[in-house]
């Protein structure tokens, strides 16, 4: 399917999304208990620090992320690797609440933010004809990490101190990733992009939007409403899964097995959506992205059986697979690729911000004695509004041609 330089760029994206997992919520959450014990803080204190640090990282990412348009891939990714390695090392030295805030901020910025931003921006910019399949393959890196790292870390924590694990991660980052970028993307430039005899004729004439122009386009905000539904609702669900489990009386083993369904359906959707995007375009698929997520809130609201846990997380997994690819390819299709780094920096920052928002909102609602069914209703109402607004402009999502 992919040849030569194309394969190298995809492998680069795959590895970078895998390593982005060190800054993702699912990975950092594995050390929640160890950190709270070390600092003697509560769940609520940890959640507040996590949300505020994530929020700050989203603001910084808007500025730092746009620099990918000013440097070649090798130089920019080198800076990201150094920052990630330093962040991992500092994480092993957490000794106070202030240090915890700084460490989470750096991990969210370098890991979840810049690593995934570098990978997806490079793929979206480089590929045209097979952008959907390339992005779906790239995101499998994170799916692989989600599948193997939790079990590995839980196993390692039984006989290795958590701080030593982070030191080992830091060393792995600074040894492995420089070899990866020198081997795979040293010679990659925008003018070495994948050639498409069919699409090149069209894309040459597409208006290349700057970030300032995008911010003046009303379509951007309506699309963002839909794009941000998955991050904040899924993050809230994952962070407060213990609240959902206790409210529904599902039991820990049921939710653990349900996460396997989530992972499998995410991967299957990644594969399928990549081909669908290349065939029909992201713009046409966007309207369907959050329908499974909407159905998941329906399941959570109306059903209490343990079996419904599988349907609930499985439906979230389907939307997650769609959102991962559409979140990168849609912007490239509508606004062009010349300034895609600057645009993606903004949208990635908004995504990171929404995860902080989800954590804070779910916690606030739980503290206000909202039931899990009421929280599902709030989430479902947001999704329904976002889908409805997107439906109204679905015929206005085509790019502008010069």
pLDDT for 252? 65
Reference 76, options 369, 342, 376; nearest CA is 342
Alpha-carbon span 317 to 323, nearest angstrom: 10
The secondary element (H helix, E strand) that includes residue 195 is none
pLDDT for 384? 96
Radius of gyration of the CA atoms of the chain, in A: 20
Residue 364 CB neighbours (<10 A) = 10
Domains along the sequence of the chain with CATH: 1-187 (1.20.1250.20), 196-402 (1.20.1250.20)
Reference 26, options 147, 170, 168; nearest CA is 147
At residue 298 the predicted structure's pLDDT band, cuts being 50, 70 and 90, is very high
Alpha-carbon span 118 to 122, nearest angstrom: 6
Say if residues 101 and 49 touch (Cβ distance below 8 Å): yes
Reference 333, options 176, 202, 181; nearest CA is 202
Question: 215 CB contacts (<8 Å, ≥6 apart)?
Answer: 346
Query: Above pLDDT 70, what percent of the chain?
Result: 93
Query: For 144-158, how does the pLDDT look when each residue is reduced to its tens digit (9 = 90+)?
Result: 887 788 778 888 988
Say if residues 16 and 118 touch (Cβ distance below 8 Å): yes
pLDDT for 402? 64
**Residue 181 reports pLDDT greater than 50:** yes
pLDDT for 282? 85
Query: For 125-137, how does the pLDDT look when each residue is reduced to its tens digit (9 = 90+)?
Result: 888 778 778 888 8
At residue 203 the predicted structure's pLDDT band, cuts being 50, 70 and 90, is very low
The reported pTM is 0.76
Query: For 12-37, how does the pLDDT look when each residue is reduced to its tens digit (9 = 90+)?
Result: 999 999 999 999 887 887 787 788 88
Write the DSSP string, 134-175: HHHHHHHHHHHHHHHHHHHHHHHTTTS-HHHHHHHHHHHHHH
Q: Can you tell me whether residue 400 is helix, strand or coil?
A: coil
**Residue 388 reports pLDDT greater than 90:** yes
Q: How far is CA 177 from CA 22, 85, 173, 338, in A?
A: 14, 10, 6, 26
pLDDT for 228? 92
Alpha-carbon span 176 to 366, nearest angstrom: 42
If you average pLDDT over residues 30-46, what whole number do you get? Answer: 82
- Window from 77-81, 83-87, 88-92, 344-348 with minimum mean pLDDT: 344-348
Alpha-carbon span 274 to 204, nearest angstrom: 23
């Amino acid at each position: 399917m992919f040849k030569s330089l194309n394969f190298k760029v995809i492998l680069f994206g795959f590895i970078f999304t895998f390593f982005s997992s060190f800054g993702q919520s699912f990975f950092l959450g594995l050390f929640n208990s160890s950190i709270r014990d070390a600092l003697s803080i509560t769940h609520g204190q940890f959640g507040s620090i996590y949300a505020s640090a994530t929020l700050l990282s989203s603001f910084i990412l808007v500025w730092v992320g746009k620099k990918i348009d000013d440097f070649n891939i090798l130089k920019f990714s080198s800076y990201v690797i150094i920052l990630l390695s330093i962040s991992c090392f500092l994480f092993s030295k957490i000794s106070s609440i202030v240090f915890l805030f700084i460490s989470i901020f750096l991990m969210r910025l370098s890991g979840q933010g810049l690593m995934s931003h570098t990978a997806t921006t490079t793929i979206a910019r480089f590929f045209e004809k097979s952008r959907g399949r390339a992005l779906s393959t790239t995101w499998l890196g994170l799916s692989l990490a989600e599948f193997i790292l939790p079990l590995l870390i839980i196993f390692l924590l039984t006989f290795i101190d958590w701080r030593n694990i982070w030191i080992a991660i830091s060393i792995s980052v600074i040894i492995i990733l420089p070899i990866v970028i020198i081997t795979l993307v040293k010679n990659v430039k925008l003018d070495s992009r994948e050639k498409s005899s069919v699409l090149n004729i069209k894309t040459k004439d597409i208006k290349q939007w700057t970030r300032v122009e995008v911010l003046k386009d009303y379509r951007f905000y309506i699309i963002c409403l839909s794009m941000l539904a998955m991050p904040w609702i899924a993050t809230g669900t994952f962070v407060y899964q213990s609240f959902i489990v206790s409210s529904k009386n599902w039991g820990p083993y049921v939710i653990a097995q349900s996460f396997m369904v989530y992972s499998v359906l995410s991967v299957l959707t990644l594969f399928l959506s990549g081909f669908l995007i290349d065939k029909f375009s992201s713009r046409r698929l966007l309207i369907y992205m959050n329908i499974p997520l909407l159905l998941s809130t329906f399941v959570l609201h109306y059903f209490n059986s343990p079996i419904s846990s599988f349907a609930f997380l499985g439906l979230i997994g389907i939307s997650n697979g769609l959102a991962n690819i559409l979140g990168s390819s849609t912007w490239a299709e509508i606004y062009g690729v010349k300034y895609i780094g600057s645009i993606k920096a903004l949208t990635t920052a908004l995504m990171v911000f929404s995860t902080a928002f989800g954590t804070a909102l779910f916690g606030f609602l739980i503290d206000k004695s909202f039931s899990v069914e009421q929280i599902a209703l709030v989430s479902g109402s947001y999704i329904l509004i976002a889908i409805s607004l997107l439906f109204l402009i679905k015929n206005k999502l085509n790019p502008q041609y010069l």
